[in-house]
Amino acid sequence: MTLAEGVQLVSTIILSVMMIGAAIGVVLLSNIVYSAFLLGGVFISMAGLYLLLNADFVATAQVLIYVGAVNVLILFAIMLVNKRQDFAPMPKAWVRRGATAMVCAGLFALLSTMVLATPWSFSTTVPSSAGAIKAIGRHFFTDFLLPFELASVLLLMALVGAVILARREFIPESAVTDLQATPLTLPERPRELVPVGGTPSQEESK
Amino acid sequence: MNSGIDLQGTFIESLMDLGLPLGAAKAIWMPLPMLLMIIGATVGVLVTVWLERKISAAAQQRIGPEFIGPLGVLAPVADGLKLIFKEDVIPAKSDPWLFTLGPVIVVIPVFLSYLIVPFGQNLIVSNVGMGVFLWIALSSVTPIGLLMSGYASNNKYSLLGGLRAAAQSISYEIPLALAVLAIAMMSNSLSTVDIVDQQSGYGILGWNIWRQPIGFLIFWIAALAECERLPFDLPEAEEELVAGYQTEYSGMKFALFYLGSYINLVLSALLVAILYLGGWEFPIPLDAIAGWLNVSPTNPVFQVVTASLGITMTLLKAYFLVFTAILLRWTVPRVRIDQLLDLGWKFLLPISLVNLLLTAALKISFPAFFGG
């Protein structure tokens, strides 16, 4: 075993332990903020494993999308709400826990049998990251076009939904009049508030 | 292509002549450039802090630091020493683990990004194929650290500062990435070395800034916003948020934030220099100068001169940009948070998309000029 192989083996072990440990922490910790931060740890360890498999584009994309976007958004949502609430003890909690454990064990058994039963075709060539981006791009625009486009439509739908939620079209009429009737207001840029059923005001806010 | 000095190759060869196996020689080489880069980055921060003090003084018609060393150059060192010896206070009601981990997560990705900064054909820690994409991915990790420290401080100003920092850095990452994408499209590569090579050959005329003027402005604005420099330093706006996510920090942990923000500024300036200002290229192509002087490009003296000139040029360009950033900080007022997000989403994002489309169209129409 050469030095490089040894380093690779040790890194694989460290990354796997990190990933499993962080994943268990995500599930078992009761503080949701810790869970969210540990989720970032899971994603980072996964990126490390991709890197060890010579898939550096996938690893970088994993960090950018899952750690930099998804995890930050999860944290953002948790902190914006900032609701520190302990779980109230529920009667007959063991039924739910037992059911969850059974579902998880079943899923684990199913996936393990799938992994063991599938005749994987191992490639003997050393995987190379050179030209990986071009190959991925070609696949996206030829044989994986439909899933790719469907994913982007899904994201577009999420985007439109977020914009509608953020614009708050459904402010009650009374709240709007209250806001406008406040006598002492600082000379700020007027905010455009859209009342229910009303047409948006003609003058643009800027 | 003239590859210039190959320190790594020479070092490994000389170690192998001493009887060491290839793997061991490489393992001995590996930490050297990393260590050099970390030291270089830290010294760069000291220089930047000194420049900040001197330029702000000049902008406000003061003298600035004067007695600590010649022209006050030791002022940042004194700052650093003070921060090292200060008591490290962890607030009683805070979350000690996250409070400690936050600054670390902020600083590590920034240092790691120096991996891809080239100072010459072979003067780079690692010519990763992902190059600038790696930098974008790493810089997207920073907001997690900011959120972490904002949350762990258990202080409403800190939390608001952390949330603002995350919102700001998510918003400005997209125009930044789109500006980089236009460059990558022209260079047919994400590697920083390839991007500089694509700009070489015609001296100052070949630099990307002439082909990507819009992209340059978008990139610089977005980079300043990512560094939380003054027109965009909302997360630590002292009139509103005391000091944002840094409020509860003192001693070395505060120093990590401070270091991280300045390293990030220098890094952004270096990347602007690499992506738009020709990296280590001299304004007049050096090969042409060698031709006029009848010097062979493989001449060792010429190669040493080229390499040192390359490092000097990269640093000069980067510090010119740092100078403009400092000047901006001391002359421009802060924007409001809604103005900041409006600028990011309603102005920079559409403009950068248009820039991308324009680049693609120009690349198809004039492949000779826009990297076919």
For B133, name the nearest residue in chain A, comparing CA atoms only. Answer: A60
Q: What share of chain B is helix, strand, coil (3-state, %, to 5)?
A: 75, 0, 25
Q: How far apart are CA B215 and CA B351, in angstroms?
A: 9
Q: Note whether B136 contacts A57, CB cutoff 8 Å.
A: no
pLDDT at B352: 92
Q: Note whether A56 contacts B129, CB cutoff 8 Å.
A: yes
Q: How far apart are CA B192 and CA B197, in angstroms?
A: 9
Q: What is the pLDDT of residues B88-106, one digit of tens each?
A: 888 887 788 888 888 898 8
What integer is the mean pLDDT of B162-180? 86
Tell me, yes or no, if B226 comes closer than 8 A to chain A by beta carbon: no
CB atoms within 10 A of CB B264: 24
* Selection from A168, A184, A188 nearest residue B337 by Cα: A188
Q: What is the pLDDT of residues B282-305, one digit of tens each?
A: 877 777 777 787 777 677 787 788
For B97, name the nearest residue in chain A, comparing CA atoms only. Answer: A34
Tell me, yes or no, if A32 comes closer than 8 A to chain B by beta carbon: no
Given CA atoms B59, B63, B68, B69 in this order, what sign does their dihedral have?
Answer: positive
Structure confidence at residue A73 as a pLDDT band (50, 70, 90): confident
Q: What angle do CA B113, B227, B196 make, to 5 degrees?
A: 45
What integer is the mean pLDDT of B259-280? 88
- Interface predicted TM-score (ipTM) over 0.90: no
Name the average pLDDT for chain A.
Answer: 79
**Which DSSP string do the residues of B272-311 spell out, in sequence order?**
HHHHHS-TT--SS-HHHHHHHTT--TT-HHHHHHHHHHHH
Q: What is the pLDDT of residues B37-80, one digit of tens each?
A: 888 888 888 889 888 888 888 888 888 788 887 887 888 888 88
Q: Note whether A67 contacts B140, CB cutoff 8 Å.
A: yes
Structure confidence at residue A102 as a pLDDT band (50, 70, 90): very high
The whole model's pTM is what?
0.81
For residue A75, list chain B residues with Cβ-Cβ distance below 8 A: 144, 147, 166
Structure confidence at residue A112 as a pLDDT band (50, 70, 90): very high
For B164, name the nearest residue in chain A, comparing CA atoms only. Answer: A76
